[in-house]
Amino acid sequence: MKQAVKVLRLILMTGILTGCLHFDAGTGFYSGRAYEGIGEGYRGPIRVRVRVGAGDILAIEIIEHSDDEPVGGAAMMELLEAVLDSNAADPDAVSGATESSMGFLAAIDDALKKAALD
């Protein structure tokens, strides 16, 4: 069941990421604006694209990272789910992948800071 939810969420994120911008006159916000952020992972930079709209984190795409998939990559996917579920970039780091976790969260925070300035 959890795997099916993850697959569905990835399909939805892909749809959101490839969709057009839409201005919601009711809220006065553009939905789906994307911002890139960079953080430093265990083995190098982590680049993400965060799509935000009306104060919500709509989607997160991991653009690039050099951390190993079994540990760092898995931690980033776990954190991606946690950030989307809580709509905040402040979950605890994944045990055993602290540097990857902190770099991933820093990249999201960097993108959100850019969104706040726009």
At residue 7, the 3 state secondary structure works out as: helix
DSSP string, 32-80: TEEEEEEEE-SSSEEEEEEEEETTEEEEEEEEE--S-IIIIIHHHHHHH
Q: pTM of the predicted model, to two decimals?
A: 0.73
Rounded CA-CA distance 47/43 in Å is 13
The answer to whether 46 touches 64, Cβ cutoff 8 Å, is: yes
> Which pLDDT tens digit goes with each residue over 65-89?
999 999 999 999 999 999 999 999 8
What is the extent of the structural domain holding 83?
2-117
Average pLDDT for the chain: 82
pLDDT tens digits for range 13-32: 444 444 444 444 444 444 56
8 vs 46, higher pLDDT: 46
The domain total for the chain is 1
> Which tokens go with 86?
């809580």
